[in-house]
Structure 1
Amino acid sequence: MARKSLIQREKKREKLKEKYHLIRRSSKEQIKNASSLTEKWEIRAKLESLPRDSASIRIHRRCFLTGRPRANYRDFGLSGRILREMFHACLLPGATRSSW
């Protein structure tokens, strides 16, 4: 189980991303359409003044059940360990466990 403070930090980043998403997107469009270099710098400075955690690249996927940050499968939202346990317990329909 991940520390609760780390999970809460990720939730805070999600909220910031949603809050500043439109501002970031419009600023990037303005940079593409800017004609002069100084105009691009001004827009870039505005973009850099936004909170760092509002960038979508800073969000890390975590396991839905345990909060584990590594070995996550996007299709299920679970870590590999939990996914394997669910396969063995036949909780995921259509999934077959491998054994050799």
Structure 2
Amino acid sequence: MAKESVKARQKKREKMVMKYANKRRILKKSKNYELLQKLPRDASPVRLRNRCSISGRCRGYMRQFGVSRIVFRNLVSQGLIPGVKKASW
């Protein structure tokens, strides 16, 4: 489980990326790199990290479901993800 401060920081970055996305696109298109550098660092989408929406874990993230492998396994065992079941052979 990630610390609450890490989760909050990630959400703050996501908001900032959305806020400056249009401005970044325009500045990149016009090749105005001086103004682009003056934007906040957290406005860059490269600084985002995929995190589990439930636990905040960044490793073992499954993009298709938006959760980490550990949370995914628990949800599948409980039958909460439709169309997915535990393999057995």
* TM-score, length-scaled by structure 1: 0.82
Greater helix proportion: 1
5+ residue gaps, structure 1, are 32-42
Large movers: runs of 4+ above 4 Å? none
Per-residue deviation, residues 13-50 of structure 1 (Å, max 9, x unmatched): 1111111111100011112xxxxxxxxxxx11111111
- Whether 1:47 and 2:36 are equivalent positions in the alignment is yes
Alpha-carbon RMSD across the aligned residues, in angstroms, is 1.1
Amino acid across the alignment from 1:74: R
Aligned residues: 89
CA distance in 2, matches of 1:79, 1:22: 30
2:48 corresponding residue in structure 1 = 59
Question: Deviation of residue 98 (structure 1)?
Answer: 2.0
CA distance in 1, matches of 2:36, 2:42: 13
Per-residue deviation, residues 54-92 of structure 1 (Å, max 9, x unmatched): 001111111111111111111111100010111112221
5+ residue gaps, structure 2, are none
CA distance in 2, matches of 1:69, 1:53: 18
Larger radius of gyration: 1
Map of 1:71-90 to 2, 5 A cutoff?
71-90=60-79
SS in 2 for 1:68: coil
